[in-house]
């Protein structure tokens, strides 16, 4: 049986978390670690918070769970102001927020069941109810058969399942996964991401995924916010942010996650391998696919893919294909000329220029 369902709220999606003009600094004359951040996270969303190391991601997470308070501005969780909440109110708010960490943070002196049971004890769940609830949670995260094991006997993926079961113990409405898959191998990462998706769909839990891994964003997030030097530089649906990044930081992150227009180093490598003319066609779902091979063929030439790929982003195609075009000299110029005016086509200058 699934754990108790977290509150989803009415049909018009309310905000689970709202940052309003938030600045945070540690110390009076210290620089702002977060600066003028306004961000709304809707209930039931899976949102990615990404950005380079030191951008302020973890500080943002700590503001959500009330471990830190904003220097200026407001942080509202389920509509309630964290900044002005009294300690006992904060404690109550924290039970509605689960945290999962990169290093799992399990008690090595307690068994798997003991770790989850302890979270229930701290939350004030009666002893008579704890055993059944632990069993229910371990079943849900797929680790019921290891209930009596010690953390030291578990794999990284199993440890993270325990961490997630513990975080779900109080039926939080918000789950914060702070680099939760960063210490895991790719297959285990996939398994844990599937579990996060199931938590979101079955329990309605809002999930905030803090990560430096763009693949994670691509896999699970509907929306994404990009932090750079404490400022929110991009925010929106993952597809839109990837397709139309506003900042250089976002463009750099996207380039590592999905195939794009080759940079100069890669172009040099491709040119060393291929003597024909190189063109890149960006693949989006908002423009008709430009059929370069068909165009080349009408001019007696050919175009073959030499680099690139198409990823699935929220069910929509996204990527870029780089072609080598070969044809008689005059035909090449005609193909290039006609391609230049097509949307999403980048013509790379030939090597001799
Ligand atoms: P990220 O999670 O994106 O790597 P952090 O939120 O951990 O970034 O840190 C952002 C900046 O805030 C860093 O420069 C870090 O040194 C600083 N910082 C974080 N927590 C504290 C603290 N408790 N005291 C002083 N500086 C801090």
Tens-place pLDDT, residues 23-44 = 999 998 999 999 999 999 999 9
Task: Based on the fold, state whether residues 294 and 246 are members of the same structural domain.
Answer: no
Q: What is the CATH number of the domain that holds 268?
A: 3.30.70.260
Determine the distance separating the centroid of ligand 1 and the alpha carbon of 27, expressed in angstroms. 12
User: Which of 235, 257, 279 finishes a domain?
Assistant: 257
125 inside domain: no
pLDDT for residue 353:
44
Determine the distance separating the centroid of ligand 1 and the alpha carbon of 247, expressed in angstroms. 22
Mean pLDDT over 269-290 rounds to: 86
User: Which of 228, 257, 286 finishes a domain?
Assistant: 257
Picking from 176, 185, 254, the residue whose alpha carbon sits closest to that of residue 17 is: 176
CA atoms within 13 A on the CB side of 257: 25
CA distance 64 to 219: 23
DSSP summary character for residue 149: -
Task: Based on the fold, state whether residues 309 and 177 are members of the same structural domain.
Answer: no
At residue 80, φ and ψ (nearest 5 deg) are: -105, 140
The b/e string for 86-95 (b: 16+ C-beta within 10 A; e otherwise) is eeeebeebbb
**Low-confidence winner among 78-82, 296-300, 321-325 (lowest mean pLDDT):** 78-82
Q: How far is CA 197 from the centre of its chain?
A: 12
Mean pLDDT over 179-183 rounds to: 92
Determine the distance separating the centroid of ligand 1 and the alpha carbon of 260, expressed in angstroms. 32
Query: Is residue 230 in contact with ligand 1, taking CB distance under 6 Å?
Result: no
Can you give the residue range of the structural domain that contains 274? 264-348
| Local confidence band at 157 (pLDDT 50, 70, 90 cut-offs) | very high
- Taking the model in full, what pTM does it have? 0.86
Q: Which residue has the CA at smallest separation from atom 15 of ligand 1? A: 54
User: Which of 219, 239, 257 finishes a domain?
Assistant: 257
CA distance 123 to 93: 12
Q: Which residue has the CA at smallest separation from atom 23 of ligand 1? A: 26
Task: Based on the fold, state whether residues 218 and 303 are members of the same structural domain.
Answer: no
Task: Based on the fold, state whether residues 229 and 304 are members of the same structural domain.
Answer: no
Task: Based on the fold, state whether residues 183 and 48 are members of the same structural domain.
Answer: yes
Tokens of 160: 């993270």
Task: Based on the fold, state whether residues 344 and 205 are members of the same structural domain.
Answer: no
229 inside domain: yes
Number of compact structural domains in the chain = 2
116 inside domain: no
Task: Based on the fold, state whether residues 252 and 268 are members of the same structural domain.
Answer: no
The pick from 19, 31, 33, 230 for probing ligand 1's pocket by mutation, whose C-beta has the most ligand atoms within 8 angstroms, reads 33
Residues 37, 73 contacting (CB under 8 angstroms)? yes
């Amino acid at each position: 049986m699934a754990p108790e369902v977290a509150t989803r709220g009415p049909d018009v999606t309310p905000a689970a978390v709202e940052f309003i003009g938030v600045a945070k600094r540690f110390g009076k004359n210290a620089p702002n670690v977060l600066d003028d951040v306004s961000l709304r996270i809707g209930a039931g969303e899976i949102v990615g918070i990404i950005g380079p190391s030191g951008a302020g991601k973890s500080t943002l997470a700590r503001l959500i769970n009330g471990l830190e308070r904003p220097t200026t501005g407001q942080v509202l969780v389920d509509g309630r102001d964290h900044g002005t909440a009294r300690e006992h109110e904060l404690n109550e708010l924290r039970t509605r927020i689960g945290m999962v960490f990169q290093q799992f943070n399990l008690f090595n002196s307690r068994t798997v069941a003991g770790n989850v049971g302890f979270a229930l004890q701290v939350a004030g769940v009666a002893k008579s109810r704890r055993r059944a609830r632990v069993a229910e949670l371990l079943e849900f995260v797929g680790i019921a058969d290891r209930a009596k094991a010690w953390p030291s006997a578990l794999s990284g993926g199993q440890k993270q399942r325990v961490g997630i079961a513990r975080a779900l113990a109080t039926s939080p409405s918000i789950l914060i996964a702070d680099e939760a898959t960063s210490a895991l191998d790719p297959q285990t990462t996939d398994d844990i991401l599937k579990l996060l998706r199931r938590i979101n769909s079955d329990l309605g839990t809002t999930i905030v995924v803090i990560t430096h891994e763009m693949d994670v964003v691509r896999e699970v997030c509907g929306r994404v916010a990009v932090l750079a030097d404490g400022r929110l530089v991009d925010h929106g649906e993952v597809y839109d942010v990837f397709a139309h990044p506003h900042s250089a930081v976002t463009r750099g992150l996207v380039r590592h996650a999905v195939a794009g227009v080759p940079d100069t180093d890669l172009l040099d490598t491709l040119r060393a391998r291929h003597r024909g003319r190189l063109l890149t066609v960006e693949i989006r779902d908002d423009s008709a696919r430009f059929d370069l091979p068909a165009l080349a063929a009408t001019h007696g030439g050919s175009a073959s893919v030499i680099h690139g790929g198409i990823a699935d982003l929220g069910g929509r195609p996204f990527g870029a294909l780089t072609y080598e075009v070969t044809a008689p000299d005059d035909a090449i110029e005609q193909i290039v000329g006609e391609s230049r005016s097509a949307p999403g086509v980048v013509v790379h200058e030939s090597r001799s220029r």
